[in-house]
Amino acid sequence: MKIKVSKYTFEFISSNQSYFIYNSQTNILIKINKDIYEIIHKSKITSDSSLLLKFNDEIINKFKELKIIVDWDENEKYILDLEMNYMIDSFANNRIVLVIAPTTACNFGCDYCFEKNKKNIKMSNETIDNLIAFLKEFKFSDRLHLTWYGGEPLLATPIIEKILKRIKSELSHLKIEYQLLITNGYYLDQKHISIFDDFPLNEVQVTLDGNKARHDKIRCLKHSGKETYDRILSNVDDYTTKYPDTLVSVRVNIDRKNSGSFNEQRVILNKRWEGKNVLIYPGILRIEDEKNNCMACEAMSHDDIREIYYDIGEEVDFYPKLKDKGCCATHVNS
């Protein structure tokens, strides 16, 4: 019997001098003794598989079950399988994934906005015609995923309504399987949102820039400087009552300046929307350059981020999860 340490197995010593092995294929973490650690470690760095035979049959069988060690001739193509599945999904032609910006206009004056210098234009009828013609080219697709983006998409609800109605009337073979609205939340009211009554949204994403004082300073109305926090929360109150099946994801932007207040705000908002289909999560601004700056905000290091999740406490699962996920931009029908 010839065996070897899997290339997906990693051995390490923790800060308190405990010994562990982790396998990224099976997502298994095991605490081991020093003797086992040294055998695994030495076998890896010397490529001497005979060292593993020092283990008794019980350990060998268990480690093989967990993919810590594998047969010598085993083709460890785990990553290749993931890549293959990803490519199959990317080239699948039964689903179309679109991000549509019906307008570049926005009513907010956020100082960090990367779109603030764009001209305020709305999608023309010609572009709508081209969009419908584009969708008609996908003869073998029967599912459609839509994300409404901007600007602020709710400033262009007649355009959204026109597109949805034309999809329904002219593309009957296409089922809108998933629909996401990314909005600043200011116009998340019945007047603007009723267009989705016949085309239900699966998810709405709203962004807050920290607590009320910070948010109203950063995300005020563009021309008047009027505060927006209370109106957004009130709109979410009404929306979640009328549309309980739609998930409302509330992203709270966090950087070093306001990281300490996130947990308190999360508790308050969770209590406000208790029993509602609302997810509150930190939108952490990560380090993007050597000065720890991201856009106009002071970004956070991994240690800063870890402290936030420690504050949240038992609700956070720190154990890694295996994910087979790519980017919609690489999908042939996106």
Indicate the average pLDDT of the chain: 89
Partners of residue 71 on adjacent β-strands: 3
The SS3 of residue 297 is strand
| pLDDT digits 0-9 by tens, 276-319 | 999 999 888 765 555 545 444 566 677 777 777 777 765 667 77
| pLDDT digits 0-9 by tens, 238-280 | 999 999 999 999 999 988 888 888 889 999 999 999 999 999 9
Secondary structure (DSSP) of 146-204 = EEE-SS-GGGGHHHHHHHHHHHHHH-TT-EEEEEEEEE-STT-SHHHHGGGSSS--SEE
Q: Compute how many other C-beta atoms are within 10 angstroms of the C-beta atom of residue 128.
A: 16
Across 42-70, average pLDDT: 94
Task: Provide the pLDDT confidence category of residue 167 given band limits of 50, 70 and 90.
Answer: very high
CB–CB of 174/144 below 8 Å?
yes
| pLDDT digits 0-9 by tens, 2-25 | 899 999 999 999 999 999 999 999
Q: Cβ contacts of residue 293 below 8 Å, gap of 6+?
A: 299
Q: Amino acid identity of 159?
A: I
Can you give the pLDDT at residue 295? Answer: 47
The phi, psi pair for 22, rounded to 5°, reads -130, 140
pTM: 0.79
Token pair listed for 235:
């709109």
What percent of the chain has a predicted confidence (pLDDT) above 70? 92
CATH 3.20.20.70 in the chain: give the residue spans: 83-330
Across 167-182, average pLDDT: 96
The SS3 of residue 86 is helix
What percent of the chain has a predicted confidence (pLDDT) above 90? 67
Across 43-56, average pLDDT: 93
Alpha-carbon torsion (82, 46, 19, 16), positive or negative? negative
Using alpha carbons, list the distances in angstroms from residue 93 to 82, 88, 135, 205, 309.
Answer: 19, 10, 12, 27, 39
In CATH, 83-330 is 3.20.20.70: yes
- CA angle, 145 as apex, 137 and 78 as ends, to 5°? 100
Burial of 184 (0-12, 13-18, 19+ CB in 10 A): buried
Q: Among residues 214, 216, 236, which one has the least CA distance to residue 225? A: 216
| pLDDT digits 0-9 by tens, 125-152 | 999 999 999 999 998 899 999 999 999 9
Can you give the pLDDT at residue 296? Answer: 45
